[in-house]
Amino acid sequence: MGRIVIVAYKPKSGKAEALKELTKTHVSRLLKEGLVTTREPVVMEAADGTIVEVFEWLSDEAIANAHQNPEVLKMWKEYFEVCDITQLNSLTETGDMFATFTPVE
């Protein structure tokens, strides 16, 4: 069974565009490794510039396997160079009844 996750990437100073470019390839790279479903990810931006992504892992096993996959570890290193992972509840929008974000194309 798939596992839908929501992740928030807070860009490091001067790295917002690099983060957006990296996120464009995130799910396709995971798909190539057989770790996610073909469900289209939803990528959006909070008012403070944090990028929020919703995507679907193939299973709990796939999530565990990602932590041992050399290609995924390489990609995560690329992410850590341009952003910090932050908690969703740190975003102002999550305090609203209907959290609203700007789509990232």
Q: What is the CATH number of the domain that holds 46?
A: 3.30.70.100
Q: Is residue 26 part of a domain?
A: yes
Dihedral over Cα of 69, 77, 31, 5: its sign: positive
Residue 74 domain boundaries:
3-88
Report, as an integer, the average pLDDT of 20-31: 97
Count: domains in the chain: 1
What tokens does 43 get?
Answer: 């990528």
Q: Is the pLDDT of residue 105 over 90?
A: no
pLDDT, position 59 = 97
Contact 8, 85 (CB under 8 A): yes
CA gap 78, 83 in Å, rounded: 9
Contact 88, 94 (CB under 8 A): yes
pLDDT, position 68 = 97
